[in-house]
């Protein structure tokens, strides 16, 4: 039989001895193992110790603690022993805490029973002292529960952020709109798990690259169409599509081609305007010729604007006609006029 004494530091309260049965030593190692079996034996000792520690972690009893400690002694590797000892110590601490709690309540109940049996001031003070110890411990436990609650809520929030980001990325993959892209970016950046974040960001970037590729194709096609069909309407369509690109060098290259077409259109328009002005001038001149009266004679070869021109003085008969008629008949302009 082992005896265990737990002292509450600071309170001076000594908890009654806790007794528990020593772990039963059911398995015994074979005497002097052959060298061939040495390695196998070491493995067995380690696996037995591991099993005992697992049992201890599940049951958290003094008996399991004793077994685990005994098995640990047989483990040859100091590294493995250290690892297992750490796990045993952790459970050991938990068991002590539980013992302490049980004892705190028991002490309190005993003190209350004593008080009931003998209602004196000193028994009342003693019961209150025990009650304070128990309530202080409860307050500590409450803090631990609250801390765990905060951690759980943080984990749940992180999980929720991941789920929302996954849904947003999925929606973006189905619909490459800028609204969906903004939403996905926002939700992915809210994720705290770095590997998950990187994974989803990669998917967002893939969509972005695809959108950019399509935009480039559209802009290139619009510029090619403009070059084939040079009109002002096609310029604005091409320019809008080129402006939507983010790659500055592509943007510059396509803009240069648009400018070239724009200049060609301007030059062509100027040429047409000049031709139109010339045609207009010719038409006006023709009209003038049709309405301007000149004077010709049956024998002369000149036409005269002035009916009293000295070039007409010797002629008997002058005939008025239009300038265009005179030109058509081969008359040329009078040299005096
Ligand atoms: Zn004349």
With a CB cutoff of 8 Å and minimum separation 6, the contacts of 187 are 161, 164, 165, 168, 169
Structure letter (DSSP) for residue 32: S
Ligand 1 center to 87 CA (angstroms) = 132
Domains and CATH numbers, the chain: 2-24+36-119 (1.10.10.1270), 289-333 (no CATH)
Ligand 1 center to 330 CA (angstroms) = 16
CA angle 8-13-14, nearest 5°? 85
From residue 25, alpha-carbon distances to 51, 62, 64, 156, 275 in Å are 15, 15, 12, 46, 118
Ligand 1 center to 333 CA (angstroms) = 8
pLDDT at 37: 60
Query: How many CB atoms lie under 10 A from the CB of residue 129?
Result: 15
Ligand 1 center to 315 CA (angstroms) = 11
Ligand 1 center to 328 CA (angstroms) = 18
pLDDT at 18: 38
Q: Pairing relation of β-strands 302-303 and 332-333?
A: parallel
pLDDT at 318: 87
Ligand 1 center to 289 CA (angstroms) = 17
Spatial separation of the C-alpha atoms in residues 162 and 182, rounded to whole Å: 16
pLDDT at 35: 56
pLDDT digits (tens, 9 = 90+) for 127-143: 999 999 999 989 999 99
Ligand 1 center to 337 CA (angstroms) = 6
Ligand 1 center to 325 CA (angstroms) = 17
For the chain (337 residues), the mean pLDDT of every run of 10, in chain order, is 40 40 45 56 86 97 96 94 97 93 94 98 97 93 96 96 98 94 96 96 95 93 96 93 92 96 94 95 90 91 90 80 93 91
Report the sign of the C-alpha dihedral through residues 11, 12, 16, 20, in that order: positive
Long-range contacts of range 134-138, CB-CB < 8 Å, 24 or more positions apart?
134/104, 134/105, 134/108, 137/100, 137/101, 137/104
Ligand 1 center to 307 CA (angstroms) = 8
Ligand 1 center to 305 CA (angstroms) = 7
Ligand 1 center to 20 CA (angstroms) = 151
Ligand 1 center to 296 CA (angstroms) = 9
pLDDT digits (tens, 9 = 90+) for 42-66: 679 999 999 999 999 999 999 999 9
Task: Say whether pTM exceeds 0.85.
Answer: no
Ligand 1 center to 103 CA (angstroms) = 146
């Amino acid at each position: 039989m082992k005896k265990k004494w737990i002292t509450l530091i600071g309170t001076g309260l000594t908890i009654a001895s806790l007794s528990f049965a020593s772990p039963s030593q059911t398995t015994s190692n074979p005497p002097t193992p052959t060298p061939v079996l040495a390695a196998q034996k070491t493995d067995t000792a380690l696996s037995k110790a591991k099993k005992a520690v697992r049992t201890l972690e599940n049951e958290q009893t003094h008996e399991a603690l004793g077994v685990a400690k005994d098995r640990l002694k047989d483990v040859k590797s100091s590294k493995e022993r250290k690892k297992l000892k750490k796990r045993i110590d952790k459970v050991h601490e938990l068991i002590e805490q539980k013992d302490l709690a049980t004892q705190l309540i028991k002490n309190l109940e005993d003190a209350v029973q004593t008080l009931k049996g003998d209602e004196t001031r000193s028994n009342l003070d003693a019961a209150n002292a025990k009650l304070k110890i128990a309530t202080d411990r409860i307050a500590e436990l409450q803090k631990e529960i609250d801390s765990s609650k905060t951690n759980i809520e943080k984990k749940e929030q992180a999980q929720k952020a991941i789920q929302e980001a996954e849904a947003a990325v999925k929606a973006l993959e189905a619909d490459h709109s800028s609204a969906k892209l903004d939403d996905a970016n926002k939700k992915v950046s809210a994720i705290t798990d770095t590997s998950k974040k990187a994974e989803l960001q990669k998917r967002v970037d893939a969509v972005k690259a695809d959108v950019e590729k399509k935009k480039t194709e559209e802009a290139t096609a619009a510029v090619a169409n403009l070059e084939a069909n040079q009109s002002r309407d096609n310029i604005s369509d091409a320019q809008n599509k080129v402006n939507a690109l983010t790659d500055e060098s592509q943007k510059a290259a396509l803009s240069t081609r648009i400018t070239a077409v724009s200049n060609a259109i301007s030059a062509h328009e100027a040429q047409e305007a000049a031709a139109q002005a010339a045609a207009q001038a010719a038409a006006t001149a023709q009209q003038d010729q049709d309405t301007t009266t000149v004077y010709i004679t049956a024998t002369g070869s000149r036409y005269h604007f002035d009916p009293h021109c000295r070039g007409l003085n010797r002629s008997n008969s002058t005939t008025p006609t239009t300038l265009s008629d005179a030109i058509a008949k081969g008359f040329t302009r009078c040299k005096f006029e």
